[in-house]
A and B are shown apart, each in its own frame.
Chain A
């Protein structure tokens, strides 16, 4: 009985941490999408397209990354109908999407 409880506990810990990891991974991208939508609305942009643009070794896809921001390459249309492209960096380098920071590097 004791052996069974210990093995069940270990199995529970592994499943819980893996489940939490999956949830946290999805949560970061969900929060990034929400931040991108808010940023576009606040600046009167319409997001026409977005693609992952994190350089290797950054973002949530690297567990020990030094930079946990989520980068999107976006094409937006402003209120005047002009299209612009650039990279939107969501979150902070040290705390990722736990932070509300957002910055843009336009191509033009």
Chain B
């Protein structure tokens, strides 16, 4: 094997790391809660959300529990007019998900790369019982988001957190709401860590 083959193999190895691929971590279950309050802006609410995601690698003897909390905004529609609402899911409710390694992660996704700042985009709908699906981008660079956000009056902060994220969890499941009949699209930013 010549030098050219070695270089080609090295390039292949590097470029293969620059694609989004499913990681060896498996989604186990999730649960959480969110409260939404009214704002003066039409169809826009402010949210607080928190919860947990359990993930596990085949080689692990027990799942890793990641706990998260954050704030965000939402746009939506509701049939029942109330200034606030509360929704939740518990780990016993049906849920499913996949965990993807993003290009900024190392060769393999470590537990540390599943932690730090996150941005979550969530679509939800319910009539009391309901469902939600979310993309959670974890491990983004807070430093880069701060720098880009500072240069763009804050507008570039969330896209930068997403662009520099090391992993993405796509998950969804059953939810329940205190005040029924809502559809919403929410964006959260916060922190996630293992306990």
Contact = CB atoms under 8 A, between A and B. Distances in A.
A9 B47 CA distance: 15
A98 B184 CA distance: 23
Interface in A76-96: 91, 93-96
A97 B39 CA distance: 10
Given A16-B48, A62-B83, A64-B76, A28 B40 contact: yes
Interface residues of A, number: 35
Interface stretch (A18-26, A33-41, A44-52, A100-108): A18-26
A68 B41 contact: yes
Most buried by A among B37, B46, B184, B190: B37
Main secondary structure, interface of B, reads strand
Contact of B182 (A28, A64, A65): A64
Contacts of B2: none
9 nearest A-B residue pairs (beta carbon)? A21-B37, A10-B69, A62-B81, A96-B40, A17-B48, A63-B38, A10-B50, A3-B195, A64-B78
Given A14-B50, A17-B71, A68-B40, 15 more contacts: A7-B67, A9-B191, A10-B50, A10-B67, A17-B48, A21-B35, A24-B37, A28-B40, A63-B76, A63-B85, A68-B42, A94-B42, A95-B41, A96-B41, A96-B42
